Amino acid sequence: MLKRRWAVAGALGIAAVTVAVVVAVNSGHDTHEVTRTVGWTDVLPAPVSAVASGATFTLAEGAPIVANSDAAAPIGEYLSRLLGHGTAVRRAASPAAGGIAVLLDPAAPEGPEAYQLDVDADGVTIRARTAVGLFWGVQTLRQLLPAGGGAIAIPGGRIVDRPRLPYRGVMLDVARHFFSVADVERLIDLSTMYKVNYLHLHLTDDQGWRIAVDNWPRLATEGGRSHVDGGAGGYYTKDDYRAIVEYAAARFVTVVPEVDLPGHVNAALASYPELNCDGKAPAPYTGINVGFSALCVDDPDTDRFLNDVLGELAAITPGPYLHIGGDEATAMTPEAYAKVVTRAQAIVSAHGKTLVGWHQVAGASLAKDAVLEFWDRSSYAGPDAVNAVAAGHKVILAPANRAYLDQKYDENTRIGLSWAGPTSVQAAYDWDPATVLSNVKEASVLGVEGALWTETVTTMADIEYLLFPRLAAVAEIGWSPASTHDWAGFSARLGAQAPRWTALGVHFARTGDVPWVAGPPA
Ligand code: NGO
């Protein structure tokens, strides 16, 4: 199946050399389609350096895939599955003629995620010091595969590449609407094509609690029963969550779970009367207002709740981060807020994890390693955050007017919110992590994140429509050197993704501002 898809996706690349421009209409957008060769300059995110040699390597059906170590072998297998090769991955120290080699190599380019990709007339070699570097090398190779029929022609040259920032995230809100494990896995697959390496799951909010907690079972069974506008809701069992974590880890993606505290807690309050100061559980909430719910600060039940929830989540999360939310707790005093967040910080640290919080958590006393996630529209995060950054805290940038991918593309977009937008593809691309915050230098920036809140998002097709193409823009901002920043170049690279997305059945938005490459034929 995959093989056919790739073959179809790539066929365009070599067959089509003339340029035609078609204007079509898709979901209300005027769409420009071009027919052209897809190749070396179309790798997205733009690599650090890419030099074409003019040679061509033709990958024959069943050509050998070679790996040189236990750590490299799974990446060879992954590539073999993508190509639809029946052949087993061979173990060898050096490339086999006519094949593809994935080699762990201490002499490969330096950097925890760096790789080098060489294509010459004899074959393809990906070298890296780490398995993740090899994996990103394979993602790059995928984009050079203009397959057609039995033989696949790959343009020759060398790419040397490494990311600008260590954290390139995508956030999915599974609280406002719930999404299945299969949907999340598909999101991981589509995101890793663009070297996204963190999946932030917004697991709880006023409208739903989506993760099982053994000591507080009703959080999931009651609190998970609804979503925005009613409906059935749902939640992840611990095994579901482990399955997501494992699927992500096999693709070098780290899951960052978020339990939103001390506001955005109506689903928890509705499940357990004892979490409420007046001992009365509120009704479940299915609207989209924010800021009305709060934990009862000095109640020992709240303490027990924090301990159990964060402790159990830490136990099933191998990654270093626990996100505790911390946004929009407007139903409590700043003192009460600081008290709960400080308490949550102590618990997170006691479990050996690093706290991440929306940038308002800077109002609490944080451990040295705590990370702030900036989400405002402005270029200023407030005095608490400025001080926190000055004291050494790192920042993840999700500026709402750039990286909130729940916003409409334009006023005609059929779904999406508009408070921080509309956000065109160009708006999602035209920013620099080094200058987005007036008070934050690049050295303090851990990375970037595209955030998909799901008040208006109900299906996987909706997820794809809002994330693609804009997630590719945010991913490139996080990965590519600032020197490659150029809208014309980016939109051409982006246009080249269309046949691949079409082949993979991605419901992307064919916005009018991108020269989408045509095909594959229906
Ligand atoms: C805000 C709010 C969320 C909304 C989102 C919608 C943050 C951090 N809190 O972002 O509850 O879902 O906007 O765009």
The residue whose CA is least distant from atom 12 of ligand 1 is 453
DSSP state, residue 518: P
120 and 230 in a single domain? The answer is no
Q: Are residues 155 and 171 in the same domain?
A: no
Stated as kind and residue range, the H or E segment containing 123 is strand 123-128
Output the pLDDT for position 522.
36
Structural domain harbouring 53: 47-161
52/156 Cα distance (integer angstroms): 6
Q: What is the SS3 assignment for 71-98? A: CCHHHHHHHHHHHCCCCCCEECCCCCCC
**Residue 31, pLDDT score:** 73
Whether 328 is catalytic is yes
The structure tokens 């934990």 sit at 295
Q: Which is catalytic among the residues 33, 328, 442, 449?
A: 328
Task: Give the pLDDT confidence score for residue 340 in this predicted structure.
Answer: 97
Is 495 a domain residue? no
Question: What's the domain count of the chain?
Answer: 2
By alpha-carbon position, which residue is closest to atom 4 of ligand 1?
453
Last residue of a domain, one of 103, 127, 161: 161
Separation of alpha carbons 56 and 78, rounded Å: 23
Same domain, 307 and 395: yes
Kindly list the distances between the CA atom of residue 138 and the CA atoms of 1, 61, 98, 145, 248, in Å, as whole numbers in the listed order.
19, 18, 17, 11, 16
The series of mean pLDDT values per 10 residues for the chain, 522 residues long, is 33 28 46 77 95 91 92 96 82 90 98 97 97 98 67 89 98 98 98 98 98 98 95 96 98 98 98 97 96 95 98 98 97 96 98 98 96 94 90 96 98 97 97 93 97 98 98 98 97 94 94 90 44
238 and 291 co-located in one domain: yes
For residue 146, what pLDDT is reported? 61
Q: Tell me, what amino acid is at 522? A: A
Task: Identify whether 514 is part of a domain.
Answer: no
pLDDT at 23: 38
Q: Give the closest residue to 457 by CA, choosing from 107, 110, 179.
A: 179
Q: What CATH code is carried by the domain that includes residue 113? A: 3.30.379.10
Q: 177, 375, 415: which to mutate for ligand 1, most atoms within 8 A of CB?
A: 375
SS3 assignment, position 120: strand
Residues 114 and 240 placed together within one structural domain of the fold: no
Q: Which residue's C-alpha comes closest to atom 6 of ligand 1?
A: 453
Domain assignment of residue 510, yes or no: no
Q: Which of 174, 203, 258, 328 to mutate to test the pocket of ligand 1 (most atoms within 8 A of CB)?
A: 328
188 and 137 share a domain?
no
Whether residue 210 is contained in a domain is answered as yes
Q: Looking at the domain assignment, is residue 507 inside a domain?
A: no
CA of 400 to the centre of ligand 1 (A): 9
Measuring CA to CA, which residue among 359, 362, 348, 357 is closest to residue 320? Answer: 348
Whole-number Å distance, alpha carbon 309 to ligand 1 midpoint, is: 22
CB 374 less than 6 A from any atom of ligand 1:
no
DSSP track, 193-206: TTT--EEEEE-EET
Alpha-carbon distances of 193 from 59, 115, 171, 368, 507, rounded to whole Å: 21, 15, 16, 33, 16
